[in-house]
Structure 1
Amino acid sequence: MKPVRILVVGAGHVGLYAALRLSSKLRSTEAEVTVVDPQPHMTYQPFLPEAAAGNISPRHTVVPLRRELRDCNIVHGAVTKVEHSRKVATVQPVVGPSREIPYDHIIVAPGSVSRTLPIPGLREHAVGFKTIGEAIWLRNHVLECLDIAAATTDPQTRQRALTFVVVGAGFAGVEALGEMEDMARDALRYYPELKADDMHWVLVEATQRVLPEVGPQMGAYTVEALLKRNMDLRLGTRLESCVDGVVKLSDGGEFAADTIVWTAGVKAHPMIAATDLPRNAQGKLTCNPTLRVVDGDSLVEGAWSAGDCAAVPDLTAAAGEMCSPSAQHAVRQARLLADNLIATVRGKGIREYRHKHVGSVASLGLHKGVAHVYGFKAKGWVAWFMHRTYHMSRIPSLNRKVRVIADWTLALFLKREVVSLGALHQPMDPFAQVTQPTQQP
């Protein structure tokens, strides 16, 4: 009997955890697992703010797929089409022609992408905050802005360089704002030309709430904590334009900024639209509580999904409610999905996903945080410690846990590195400048 072919699309929280569980519990004679992802690693996104602030080495926030999934087939490429009617996925490798990969079961988990709006100038002047590349770029860019501001004698150039705008007051936006401001303030000790009051940190949020995941009381505390750090909070305000780096807000505010970070929500990965699987109005795959894809009341045999790209009913909430797109749900869904798929392969019964949201923790910078977990509310150092402890326990692999703890331990005795390596983003420029152009024969 041939092994069952299982194809995992995406190696984020769902894909990696599901593949790990499948490969560890299924014998090679039972199944072969293939994982396809455009990146050779899984990014642990909750650590992106700390990586951007220099508290953790960027390499320690990613998990190499080939090291962790040694019993899986790894394909470095992007799935461009899924024909479930034929049970075939089309994959475009990083280099070379596309190929088709047949399967018996498919786990569709490409995750999510930034949800953007048609705002003039956004594409040209803003950066997202979902990948390790964006986090590294943002760190280098903020430090480079300090160098620009310290070197210039033009007040407008200095003001523009020292204006930093973050759009979106969810986890990503608030943590990025808190960590980056903390890093920049720490770096100012080496810039006698600059003062902390010269910096203008702006948080733009279309609603009236900050960090809604931690509840109104802790959200209000977060607002107070940020205001004490002299940050400019624009709640109930929309970004209307940022053409040429000139930020125009719906409250009438207008100013130039060299740094604009967009964290205003996520949406299902556009790859989902390239499948013949059923989707809801938000573009997510429709699933039942067992994490199998369904078309209305009909089961789509061999198709599974979870995480940000899946509409999974929340059995602990009111009827019709779906699980929120969070790592807390994604990790737990991945484990149950793998267990249910294993049970299906072995002809056993499967279970429904049921998890009541336990709460959330968020970092507001070094030794600063906010938490609301199991009804317990914390702030300051206690919440920051809870944040670090929780995420250290959740990042996959002992290797990464040890490296992250080592980074934190060294930071207790050594000062934070605040040097920009912006040349990394254009590494060929210095060589091109000293190389004579030649005519092609």
Structure 2
Amino acid sequence: MPKILIVGGGYAGFYTAWKLEKWLRSGEAEVTMVDPLPYMTYQPFLPEVAAGSIEPRHAVVAHRRHLQKTNVVTAKVTYINHAEKTATITPPIGEPYEFAYDIVVVTAGAVSRTFPIPGVADQAIGLKTIEEAVAIRDTVLRNFDLAAALPAGPERERLLTFVVIGGGFAGIEAFAELRSFATSLLTKYPEISFDETHFHLIEAMGRIMPEVSLKTSLWVIENLAGRGAQIHLDTQLKSAVDGKIELSTGETFETDLIVWTAGVMANPSIVRHTDLPIEERGRVQTRADLRVGTEDDIVQDAWAAGDVSCVPDLSGGGVGGNCVPNAQHAVRQGKLMAKNIVAVLRGEGAKEYNHKNLGAVAGLGVGVGAFQSGKFAMTGLLAWFAHRGYHGLAMPSFERKFRVIWGWVNNFFLGRDIVSLGATQTPRAVFQEFASRPKPPAEVAPAAAPVKATAPRAPRAPRKPTVKPAAAPTTDAPASAAQSAPVAESVTADAK
């Protein structure tokens, strides 16, 4: 029975395994999926998680709950040697080991792409994982708590200043959702006024959201400006050392939260550690039928899809002739790849991936959205409903759909939950502070130096008292008491 190894459990990897379970016959192949996380993250929901509109656990899909026939391994693949058809698997605990496979599927996804700007690596946070989204949400809530207890001044202003780098879809959605979140918090923090909250988005290009028309992007800018958010176009970040933002325009200000959304790159832990062909932008070279290789050269038994791959866009709508890295392509590529793998196993032909972009829809905070499909555009409340409707239905599995939609209904009646759980980063802090500890052992006094033993000396014989003779009297009269006193004193002294 052939062994299929899926490297990565994101969109493409999860959907590939999910559909292989559906279409493979019993005993036709053994599927193993390796990913360092035990769940798939539905990334379009991350901005809403950061803004408290979706419960974090509802935006992820547990691998082991929904993949019943797949061997799920929570570990990292650190090398793919396709020449020998082996992969090095490194678990969190224990030694790395070799895994032999017959077919490899590379779906390792992408990570945040950054530039060597001073301070970014130390101060900024991405928005690619559920953990990052939760940390952003908790930071906003913590900053409001701290600022409410401070008088007006530089420190209070720093805590209430929030910065997003990158004006693509992810950046704009995160920026707008955070602005909406902060505005809703003001009713719970009467100590903070609207004018004290500052939101800045930094975009190096001359426009935002290239996926939509210029008219729609200008509407988004105008809408955000009316909500007290500032977008800096044609502006580059020069430094972020210690949270001090320095822009190419000369403007400077301080912040406690920098969210980096300025692009992604193929997972370097895979593309830099494999003998599979890698194209000039660092992605796995992939054919239109999702097999690794070029149009003229196929790498047998190797497949790739999603953000880690460079797949030709046969619809003509891609960038540079290739599919852009987004969820819309990753999900559909995963489904087609599962069909193609089954077809090839059965001696049939593989179909080429050809998907025309359906459009783009963005959530810009509660009640505000933007939708673009071809020349048709829609903004405002209807676009927001379209955004939630599309992604609510796109969430895999009925169980996840129900949790997300039920959460939205709860928020409509009850409002967002504004409890910060930032203390989960140090869960044992309170316990350690008050925990009883054994007393240190008492210090033992140093031993006295030994005394040298000597032989006992014989007792000295008492000295006999000596009596000095009294001086002879000069007269015939008897000696007086005054004359005899010195003699008595001398006898007493000698006796002593």
Calculate the TM-score normalised by the size of structure 1: 0.97
Partner of 2:458: none
Partner of 2:393: 393
Partner of 1:362: 362
How far the C-alpha of 1:190 sits from its partner, in A, is 1.2
Q: Distance in 1 between matches of 2:33 and 2:382?
A: 39
Q: Distance in 2 between matches of 1:296 and 1:369?
A: 40
Partner of 1:95: 93
Partner of 1:288: 287
**Is the partner of 2:228 in helix, strand or coil?**
coil
Q: CA RMSD in A?
A: 1.6
How far the C-alpha of 1:123 sits from its partner, in A, is 1.2
The answer to whether residue 39 in structure 2 is matched with residue 41 in structure 1 is yes
How far the C-alpha of 1:28 sits from its partner, in A, is 2.9
Q: Please list, as runs of the form range in 1=range in 2, the aligned pairs for 1:226-241 lying within 5 A after superposition.
A: 226-241=224-239
Judge which range, 368-377 or 378-387, deviates more: 368-377
CA contact (8 A) 1:286 1:295 kept: yes
Q: Distance in 2 between matches of 1:439 and 1:212?
A: 65
The answer to whether residue 309 in structure 2 is matched with residue 310 in structure 1 is yes
CA contact (8 A) 2:161 2:256 kept: yes
Give identity over the alignment, percent.
47
1:27–1:183 CA distance, 2 compared to 1 (3 A): same
Partner of 1:381: 381
| Partner residue of 2:179 out of 157, 169, 181 | 181
How far the C-alpha of 1:214 sits from its partner, in A, is 1.6
Partner of 2:192: 194
Q: Please list, as runs of the form range in 1=range in 2, the aligned pairs for 1:131-150 lying within 5 A after superposition.
A: 131-150=129-148
Q: Which has the larger radius of gyration?
A: 2
How far the C-alpha of 1:429 sits from its partner, in A, is 1.9
Deviations 1:153-179 (A, max 9, x none): 251111000000000011111111111
1:318–1:328 CA distance, 2 compared to 1 (3 A): closer
How far the C-alpha of 1:432 sits from its partner, in A, is 2.5
How far the C-alpha of 1:419 sits from its partner, in A, is 2.2
Q: Distance in 2 between matches of 1:360 and 1:428?
A: 44
In structure 2, give the amino acid aligned to 1:419.
V
How far the C-alpha of 1:376 sits from its partner, in A, is 2.3
Q: Distance in 1 between matches of 2:317 and 2:157?
A: 49
CA contact (8 A) 2:80 2:273 kept: yes
Q: Distance in 2 between matches of 1:394 and 1:53?
A: 20
Q: Distance in 2 between matches of 1:136 and 1:106?
A: 33
Partner of 2:403: 403
Q: Distance in 2 between matches of 1:111 and 1:239?
A: 27
Larger relative CO (CA 8 A, sep 6+): 1 or 2?
A: 1
How far the C-alpha of 1:316 sits from its partner, in A, is 1.5
- In the alignment, structure 1 segments of 5+ residues that lack a partner are none
CA contact (8 A) 2:4 2:31 kept: yes
Deviations 1:19-48 (A, max 9, x none): 101111102311011000000000000011
Deviations 1:305-328 (A, max 9, x none): 011111111112189610111111
Deviations 1:371-424 (A, max 9, x none): 002432100011111111111111111100011111011112112111222111
How far the C-alpha of 1:362 sits from its partner, in A, is 0.3
Q: Distance in 2 between matches of 1:377 and 1:7?
A: 42
1:440–1:329 CA distance, 2 compared to 1 (3 A): farther
Q: Distance in 1 between matches of 2:70 and 2:410?
A: 35
Deviations 1:224-279 (A, max 9, x none): 11111121111111111111110111111111100111000000000211111000
Deviations 1:109-157 (A, max 9, x none): 1100000000111111111011000000100000111111111125111
**Is the partner of 2:142 in helix, strand or coil?**
helix
Q: Distance in 1 between matches of 2:431 and 2:85?
A: 48
Partner of 1:204: 202
CA contact (8 A) 2:235 2:249 kept: yes
Q: Distance in 2 between matches of 1:29 and 1:414?
A: 50
- In the alignment, structure 2 segments of 5+ residues that lack a partner are 442-496
Which of the pair is proportionally richer in strand? Answer: 1
CA contact (8 A) 2:216 2:377 kept: yes
CA contact (8 A) 1:278 1:295 kept: no
How far the C-alpha of 1:295 sits from its partner, in A, is 5.2
Partner of 1:371: 371
Judge which range, 253-262 or 23-32, deviates more: 23-32
1:263–1:437 CA distance, 2 compared to 1 (3 A): farther
Partner of 2:107: 109
Q: How many residues align?
A: 439
